[in-house]
Amino acid sequence: MDSKNKVRRLDQKLAIYSGIVESISKLSAASTMKVGCMAIKSDFSKMSSFGYNGSYPGAEVYEETGTIEESLEPGSSGLIHAEINMIAKFKEPDPEKHIVILTHSPCRHCTKVLCTAGFKYIYWINEYRITEHFHILNECNVNYGDISQLKKDYQQYFL
């Protein structure tokens, strides 16, 4: 396959996997921000794990909110973040050979957890409102950014 066809195929895969992670986010019971996350093999051959922001199985409904969220204040829902749910289900031995795709860039806490788990490629569709913690990704030698950055990095590191 020539270079032009590889890039066209990459565009197709990125569009499809972006659509999948957006669909995964719709499983969230969050009333404010529904977030999806997935880890795929760097050759796009396998979705190894996914998660969305939610709670534990059988979570109680809070009287104050009428939902499983402890609070409806931004950043205070008490829900388990999509990244944590994805990592909890991740059973592969090689996180550094996976690409993490998110609907929203990770919060500070999830950035630290993704780095600690060993992921080296983290990309998102939408940027979260708080971004000053991205220096952590640099310190951990992680390639990151929006989907357009994933396309550039993929061509550099994997094609």
The residue ranges of every structural domain in the chain are 3-157
User: Which residue bears the tokens 């499809």?
Assistant: 16
Q: State the DSSP code for 80.
A: B
pLDDT of residue 4: 85
User: How sure is the predictor about 126, in pLDDT bands with cuts at 50, 70 and 90?
Assistant: very high
Query: Concatenated DSSP letters for 7-41?
Result: HHHHHHHHHHHHHHHHHHHTT---SS---EEEEEE
What is the mean pLDDT of the segment spanning 42-46?
A: 94
Q: pLDDT (tens digit, 9 = 90+) per residue, 61-101?
A: 999 999 999 999 887 899 999 999 999 999 999 999 999 99
The confidence score (pLDDT) of residue 36 equals 98
**pLDDT score of 14 more than 90:** yes
Average pLDDT over residues 44-53: 96
Q: What is the structure's pLDDT at 11?
A: 92
Q: How far apart are CA 90 and CA 49, in angstroms?
A: 5
Say yes or no to pLDDT of 157 above 90: no
Confidence band (pLDDT; 50, 70, 90) for 12? very high
Cα(72)–Cα(78) distance, rounded to whole angstroms? 9
Q: Which CATH class is domain 3-157?
A: alpha beta
Beta strands in 53-146 (DSSP E): 98-104, 121-126, 143-146
Model confidence, pTM: 0.94
Q: Give the closest residue to 124 by CA, choosing from 142, 105, 108.
A: 105
pLDDT of residue 120: 98
pLDDT at 55: 93
